[in-house]
Amino acid sequence: MKLVIVESPTKARTISRFLGKEYKIKFSMGHVMDLPKSTLGVDLENNFKPIFELVGDKKKIIADLKQSAKSAERIILATDPDREGEAIASHVKDMLGSNSIRQSGGQNSKFTRIVFHEITKEAIEEALKNPRAIDVRLVDAQTGRRVLDRLVGYKLSPLLWRKVRRGLSAGRVQSVALRLIVEREREIENFKKDPYFTITAFVKKGNIENIPFELIEIDNEKIEIQNKIKLYDGEYKFAKTTIEKEQDAQRILDDLNNKPFTVLDVLTKETRRTPPPPYTTSTLQQDAARRLGLNGRRAMSLAQKLYEEGYITYHRTDSVSISSSAMNSLINFIKKEYGEKYVPPKPRFYTTRQKLAQEAHEAIRPTKIQNSEFIIQNELGRDYGKLYGLIWRRAVASQMTDAITQSTTVFADAKGERNFRFRANGSVLIFDGFLKVNPQALQDNKLPEFQKAEVLRPTRIEKVFHKTLPPSRYNDASLIKSLEEEGIGRPSTYATIVSTIEARSYIDREQGKFIPTSVGIAVNDFLVANFSTIDDIPFTAFMEDELDNIAHGKKDWRPMIKEFYMPFEKKLEEVQNADRVKIAVEETNEKCPECGSPLVVRTGRFGKFLACSKFPKCKFTKPFVQETSFLCPKDRAKIVIKKTRKGRKFYGCSNYPACTFAAWRLENIKKEISA
């Protein structure tokens, strides 16, 4: 009997469809060994040796694996093809092979490691033909990350308990993500909103009314000013006009009153749009947030299931390449379904932006192009089908022809006391190309034909007041994009980073945007004030590069940890005498029923609550209830926002427990109401 070990029951079930009776498939449910929860688990006196132990709540699974291994002639480790999967395989091997006879080089002949990037019959058979040993470099990189994160988390968290508030915790990568959000909030608060006006003339041409011409020049001087400010994670560019006062805008309108416009020039050009590459982990999460409203954790959970069921390739990757066989399959499908004109002269090859693509993975793509979104929806459910549809359309579009648009720009002049130049823009899609399968928010804005020297008479001219807008708050998509661009974290960590700081109540969501809580701001300010070199983008990105070097055999993880830890330990000692940080509180109009003092909003481990402002003299508290505009479909009471113990937000009836209605998303409440 040959024993195949994977991580999950779903993956085991899918693989079992492709293997014969001589194979037994078992699963580990993730890691079987980890650092202890109650202690540091790193021997600081013995070159940072990690003290891994068997995971306590997996006794039955571990016992079953050990029992199956006794009668196995061969043990095949088939965990995921990344650093974490390699570490799981190594720990399983250590656990099952601890009493086996080891051959030279520290290997055990009973164990082999296989790797595949999609769960299909062909991929499994190919992997079995090409077994290999466990890649120690990848295991070392994962071990280095685990030790580094444990040292930061377990050394900083007790300090936060003493200096900020009990129950708080810090993480190496999560703290930088929190800093991005806090810094952005302050950049928004400090942004100066300058007033300005735009001038638009509306023209009628034939049957087309309200063709907008925007003022762009006065006396041959452009009126648009481009500005940029430096942000914590880059630059923010915005524009305004030189028309800053209403009287100036009105003077322009008076000057243009009843003045004819003369067409100066009509410019027409073709623009080609190239399809984007297939999805990486980051771009999939970004589009899942933008188009489907899914947070990173939910998107990755759906993708995990799609991968384990054999419908997509491995979903943790920063590579944009696809195999030659997959490329040929896509091209043949496009020819058959859409015709030769949708196939480019040569196959498209995309270049990975990252310095080191994650362990030579493929991009995320369907394993069989014939599987449609509707098939997946019927098999697994609506959300799975929608995410699969994104992946399918992006992969197919990546091997299709360019979309071609024709853009037209019309310039018109008007003369009063000063000379004014206006511009109208239009565009028309003349060949859809890849947009046929992956449509985007493009709308034709066809201008009528204008002739040079043609005289136009506007039907009206308007001035519109504006203010320069500050940079936007982060949402799931923009935060993940920033993390990737700055080199913070890796594909497997993006979703966890966001969900962790949200679960700790360091951030809130408001209309899909991230806002730091008072606790999050206090934690961030303390870390920045005392550990600015660690809680910063350059350091975090540098450490990711170091872990990549370990994965590629260029460095050993122990010297890297030592180089970090020695100054870190010294800084920990210095900060013991730092001042305690006071968490800001939000006052309310409610009075404490016990002492009459104002109630304030505080943030605890499980989110916000109301407390007496005289604490600790008065210890009155009560839940903080944030209402929505929706009514419960069952009893018409107010729907309120709640949080689970793990920090996940949901919507429930304010009459709980009398009414137990709850929903994860507002869309589900709307459906219940309409039904």
Reported for 602-608, long-range contacts at CB under 8 A and 24+ positions apart, including other chains, are 602/518, 603/505, 603/517, 603/518, 603/519, 604/167, 604/505, 605/167, 605/505, 606/505, 606/643, 606/645, 606/647, 607/505, 607/643, 607/647, 608/505, 608/517
**CB-CB contact of 288 with 273 (8 Å):** no
SS in 3 state form for 389-428? Answer: HHHHHHHHHCCCCCEEEEEEEEEEEEECCCEEEEEEEEEE
**CB-CB contact of 232 with 184 (8 Å):** yes
DSSP code per residue over 60-88: HHHHHHHHHHHT-SEEEE---SSHHHHHH
- Annotated active-site residue 338? The verdict is no
Give the closest residue to 562 by CA, choosing from 51, 142, 170, 45. 45
The single residue of 196, 307, 311, 314 carrying the catalytic annotation is 314
Reported for 213-217, long-range contacts at CB under 8 A and 24+ positions apart, including other chains, are 213/261, 213/410, 213/412, 213/422, 213/423, 213/424, 213/458, 214/422, 214/423, 214/424, 215/252, 215/420, 215/421, 215/422, 216/421, 216/422, 216/423, 217/419, 217/420, 217/421
**CB-CB contact of 147 with 467 (8 Å):** no
**CB-CB contact of 487 with 278 (8 Å):** no
The length of the chain, given as a count of residues: 675
Question: Residue 118 belongs to what H/E stretch?
Answer: none
**CB-CB contact of 623 with 616 (8 Å):** no
**CB-CB contact of 107 with 101 (8 Å):** no
Give the closest residue to 2 by CA, choosing from 58, 59, 77, 64. 77
Residue 640's SS3 state is strand
The span from the CA of 424 to the CA of 529, in Å, is 51
Give the closest residue to 319 by CA, choosing from 368, 369, 284. 284
How big, in percent rounded to 5, are the helix, strand and coil portions of the chain? 40, 25, 35
State in Å, rounded, how far the first CA of the chain is from the last one.
54
Tokens encoding 65:
């694996």
Residue 438's SS3 state is coil
**CB-CB contact of 172 with 543 (8 Å):** yes
- Give the residue numbers marked as catalytic: 314
